[in-house]
Amino acid sequence: MVYLAYVKLLITIVQDADAPGLIKALGEIGIQSTKLSSTGGFLREGNTTLLIGLEEHQLEAAKELIREKCRTRTRLITPGVPLAEAPDPFLAQPVEVKVGGAVVFVLTVDEFVKV
């Protein structure tokens, strides 16, 4: 059993598509995370809740990776409207949708136990 001081727990909600890249990037700097599946609410559909445990000195690096891997960006999507149902050519134009985003609750951990 190992006790570590100054542990933080980040309860982090990200889009499903951004989760694997973030988990990998965190792992590369020695930060472990566990994935819970979640739905709705803080982000548009299809999100994942990550439990990220770290020491205080790793907090800035973790936030930097979250910003980098989950930044809100726009993507051009062409709506899949059948031609017959979209006589107005405007409807077939690509539209901008927002993807990404993250919500992070940083919690102070009283005690961290590893068995």
Query: Which positions touch a second copy (CB under 8 A)?
Result: 1, 7-9, 11, 13, 23, 32-42, 47, 49, 51, 53, 63, 66-67, 70-72, 100-115
Residue nearest to Ni ion (CB): 55
Among Ni ion, a second copy, none, partner that 55 touches (CB below 5 to 8 angstroms by kind): Ni ion
Distances (CA, A) of 97 to 20, 35, 94: 21, 26, 10
- R_g (Cα) of the chain, nearest Å: 19
The residues binding Ni ion (CB under 5 A) are: 55
Tell me the closest approach of the beta carbon of residue 113 to Ni ion, in angstroms: 17
Find the Cα–Cα–Cα–Cα dihedral 81, 84, 89, 90, rounded to 10°.
-40
Among a second copy, Ni ion, none, partner that 86 touches (CB below 5 to 8 angstroms by kind): none
**How many angstroms from the chain centroid is the CA of residue 29?**
17
